[in-house]
Structure 1
Amino acid sequence: MKKHLRNLDYPLLVIILILSLFGLVMVYSASFVEAGLDPGINDSGYYFRRQRMWLILGLMIFFVASMFSYRSLRKLTQPFFFITVLMLILVLVGFGVSVNGATRWLDFKIFLFQPSEMAKITMVLYFAHILTSKQDRLDNFSQGILPPIMLLMFVFGLIVLQPDLGTATSILIACGIILLFSGARFRHLFALGASGIALVVGLIFIAGYRRDRLTSFLNPFEDPSGEGYQLIQSLIAIASGKLNGVGLANGVQKAGYLPEAHTDFILSIIAEELGLFGVLFVIVTFMAFMYKGVLIAKRAPDHFGRLLALGITFQVISQAIINIGAVSGSMPITGITLPLISYGGSSMLITFATLGVLMNIAIKGNMKRGYETEEEEETKDFQPIRSVK
């Protein structure tokens, strides 16, 4: 245990704690009005207490996950994949729970679980494992790259059918980053990237509600009481905050004007109450997380660890970018939450589990660096991630 604590990546731990504790405060501020006025709840601290419970459980999962070697996860790749696919199918065949028109959850009585959250770490783990195993075949598209891409598209399709294009897209981005640094040929990457963009754009235009979201994102004032309503209220909140904000808990938009104020649009409340400085604080903290994640990947003891660390890092960052883009009107609204900050049990627990794996990769890297120092190998660097061909 002492060795484990000595080799913890404390800067990463501090970043995680800052985001999650800041999120806990903002969940209370964004939800106490709604929770207090809801006749079914009638308790202003309801969402705060539940988020606090998820945070405590998440931190426990984080520290447990950080103690188990990330290499042992390779043996669990196949079971994780089949369990994830099974749950995604159950959501679609009548066992799913619908909320706000989307069927994305399974009811485990104690809490609702969102299988697409599990798919995030499952696909990152699968891609890191399979692309490490296929290092000698990555030059061959049909044998090295196509099989994992086909399984990725299968999972992507299951999530899109819920419908949840935002989460599906964030998984595509994370797996794409892993593929980019796996050593695949550039022409293969270019073709896959172009195909992925075309697929997402096509899915937007073939579904009426997604097309409406796109047009509302481009000009929300064309339908201010319909598709454009949520974005307009978000922009009002952001504009009201100016530089310093109106003060913590003093925001108006959460009082029945902005839907999903404590989940998808919590950044709008941060902008209203803490101003531009509050938003910059969130962005800079996520940038610090990205820097640490890339550094951990660079220092990882093996190729699998590097790819896994990159996948976890950019899974979180891609989700944050999509959420920030949506609430600011820079991207279409997708219904994706802000990691560690937005309210949500499934998202909190899965995110902490994946961050625990990232911490373990950091610990193993620190242990290796410490060993090399003792052996007077300070100048020996780790083998770099394979460059794109």
Structure 2
Amino acid sequence: MARRRHPHPIEHSILITATLCLLAAGAVMVFSASSARSVLSGQGDGTSFMVKYVIYGGIGFVLMHVIARRGLDLVLKATLPLLAFSFVCLVLVKMPGFGVSVNGARRWLGAGPLVFQPSELMKLSLVLYAAKLLAERPKVLAHPRNLMPLLLVAGGAVLLIASQPDLGTSLVICFTMASMLVAAGMPIRWLATATGGGSVLILLYAMSASYRRDRLMTFLDPWAHAGDEGFQAVQGQIALGSGGLFGRGLGNSQQKNLFLPEAHTDFILAIVGEELGVIGICGILFLYGLVAYAGLRVAKNARGTYAKLLAAGVTSLFLSQAMLNVFTVLGLAPLTGVPLPFISYGSTNLIVLLMGMGVLLNVAAGGHVTLRVVPGARNVAGSKRNGSNDPDRRRRDSRARGAGSGGRRRAAG
């Protein structure tokens, strides 16, 4: 008699449903936001960006399916090679003859239509690396200096990305790493200290170049700079305001007709608001809420520390990027150039986020890995809570290890 497969938990179904709904909304809105510009500028019949979105989404969906069905052992083995590849690509971006410059930013590698953005791959690579490091070395949370390996790797990536320049992706990485450290048990007082120091560094970085200073001043009063630096923010607010509660109707946006720059990428939420109104924006936010709810439930119920941190990290990555984009479009944060997850047009971003969703679905389906804890890397706080200072407990543990396989300690990760 064939063995009956265990059904996936409800969180697995919620994640798939929300992802498919976001992809469907993305395809529709990319077509609506880009069609007028393509036709008016003589770049085709208006379907080119939508067709590319569907192709990239199809590639990402296949990768998501493969990652979701394979064991997390494959993800663990690919972590360090993927991280090294991401660093090499980030360095190549800055080298003459390799990087592709668009609108003053040098963020891409490749030629013609075959270009990709290494910083997007780095975001997922750092989530995988942080989960591996924190699961193997729980003692890193015993003292701030033990976090140095993770801080050096993540800090190096942030510096390379910020130099492109790309402050938005750098902020997403910082938010995601902070969320993973909190999920791993980092004291809140450390987070508060790091947040204060990080805020000072971000402010200094923002003031280090004239265009970044102008962007910061524009954020404070975009209408005072509506003809230059504040043009995009003002046009986005006009789009949102003219949509009202129910919107102008799908396809009836006026701001996409060569008024709003980046209408199909960073500011696609403004077109959603203009055409579908507050109801449409609330629908998109509801889908992200489903991803947040299901992702955090998956992290809570995951088998082992490694799987828990993976789920928490990937969920944090989605939410950090979504919130930063929403805040930017609504005028609650300066312009950062971060796309809206699964909705905005962007080949690398879409494929990498779908790969991350594959990892999350893998954990939701019960995927787990057993990691060997680095010798001497036991969590001090956890040891005290478990009563390891009790002499009788230590003797019992000693006898148990002596009767086992050579006294080696393993931990489910």
Q: State the TM-score, normalized to the length of structure 2.
A: 0.85
Higher deviation after alignment, 270-279 or 189-198: 189-198
Question: Following the alignment from structure 2 to structure 1, what is the Cα–Cα distance between the partners of residues 5 and 51?
Answer: 31
CA displacement at 1:38 relative to structure 2: 2.1
Moved more, 54-63 or 336-345: 54-63
Aligned-partner Cα distance in 2 for 1:213–1:199: 17
Q: Which residue of 2 aligns with 1:104?
A: 107
Residue number among 243, 248, 251 corresponding to 2:250 in the alignment: 248
Identify the residue that residue 83 of structure 1 maps to in structure 2.
85
Q: Which residue of 1 aligns with 2:123?
A: 120
* Aligned match for 2:224, one of 222, 236, 240: 222
Residue 7 (structure 1) aligns with: 8
Q: Structure 1, residues 174-233: CA drift from partner, whole Å, max 9, x if none?
A: 111111121234443332222222222221121221221111111012211100100110
Query: 1:376 matched to which residue of 2?
Result: none
Inter-CA distance 353–320: structure 2 relative to 1 (3 Å threshold): same
Retained in 1: the 8 A contact 2:120–2:352? yes
Paired amino acid for 2:142 = D
Instruction: Determine the structure 2 residue equivalent to 1:341.
Output: 343
* Fraction of identical pairs, as percent: 36
Q: Output the CA distance in 2 between the equivalents of 1:116 and 1:56.
A: 21
Matching residue's letter, 1:99: V
Amino acid paired to 2:100: V
Cα RMSD for the two superposed structures: 1.8
Matches within 5 A, 1:14-53: 14-39=17-42, 41-53=43-55
State how 1:1-389 maps to structure 2 within 5 Å. Answer: 6-7=7-8, 9-39=12-42, 41-94=43-96, 95-107=98-110, 109-142=112-145, 144-364=146-366
Kindly indicate whether the alpha-carbon contact (under 8 Å) linking 2:176 and 2:313 is maintained by their aligned counterparts in 1: yes
- In the alignment, is the contact (CA less than 8 A) between 1:319 and 1:337 conserved in 2? yes
Contact 1:296-1:365 at 8 Å conserved across structures: no
| Matched residue type, 1:97 | V
> 2 CA distance for matches of 1:5 and 1:16?
22
- The normalised TM-score by structure 1 is 0.90
Q: 1:128, CA displacement in angstroms?
A: 0.8
* Runs (4+) off by over 4 Å: 2-5
Aligned to 1:226, the other structure's residue is in SS state coil
Q: 1:295 to 1:254 in 2, by over 3 A?
A: same
Q: CA deviation at 1:255?
A: 0.2
| 2:184 counterpart SS class | coil
CA distance in 1, matches of 2:207, 2:222: 17
Q: CA deviation at 1:365?
A: 6.1
Q: Distance in 2 between matches of 1:3 and 1:25?
A: 39
1:228-247 residue CA offsets vs partner (Å, 9 max, x unmatched): 10011000000100001000
Q: What secondary structure does 1:181 align onto?
A: helix
Deviations 1:90-113 (A, max 9, x none): 001121111111111001555210
Give 1:154 shift.
0.5
Kept in 1, the 8 Å contact 2:134–2:140? The answer is: no
Report the number of matched residues.
365
Quickly say closer, same or farther: Cα 1:108–1:305, change in 2 above 3 A: farther
Per the TM alignment, residue 118 of structure 1 is displaced from its structure 2 partner at its CA by: 0.1
Q: Which runs of 5+ in 2 are unaligned?
A: 369-381, 386-413
CA distance in 1, matches of 2:365, 2:112: 36
1:63-107 per-position Cα deviation (integer Å, ceiling 9, x unaligned)? 011012224322222211111000000001121111111111001
Give CA deviations for 1:27-47 in whole Å, capped at 9, x if unaligned.
Answer: 1111110111223x2221111
Unaligned stretches of 5+ residues in structure 1: 367-385
Q: Distance in 2 between matches of 1:226 and 1:163?
A: 20
Note the alpha carbon deviations across 1:246-292, whole angstroms, 9 max, x for none.
00001100000000000000000000000010111111111111111
Q: Is the 8 A contact 2:236 2:270 kept in 1?
A: yes
Distance 1:316 1:26 in 2: 19
Cα separation, 1, equivalents of 2:173 and 2:84: 17
